[in-house]
Amino acid sequence: MPILVATNVAARGLDILHIGRVINYELPETHELFTHRVGRTGRMGRTGRAITLVSAVDLSKWQAIERGLGRRLPRVSASGEPSPQPQTAGRMRMPSRWRRRGWSRPRVPA
Write the pLDDT tens digit of every residue in 6-21: 766 766 666 677 777 8
pLDDT band at 108 (very low <50, low <70, confident <90, very high): low
pLDDT value of position 64: 94
- Which H/E stretch holds residue 52? strand 49-52
pLDDT value of position 26: 87
C-alpha span between 66 and 72 (Å, rounded): 5
Residues in the chain: 110
- Domains of the chain: which residue ranges? 9-101
Protein fold of 9-101: Rossmann fold (3.40.50)
pLDDT band at 69 (very low <50, low <70, confident <90, very high): very high
- Which H/E stretch holds residue 49? strand 49-52
Task: Please say whether the beta carbons of 25 and 58 come within 8 A.
Answer: no
Task: Please say whether the beta carbons of 33 and 8 come within 8 A.
Answer: yes
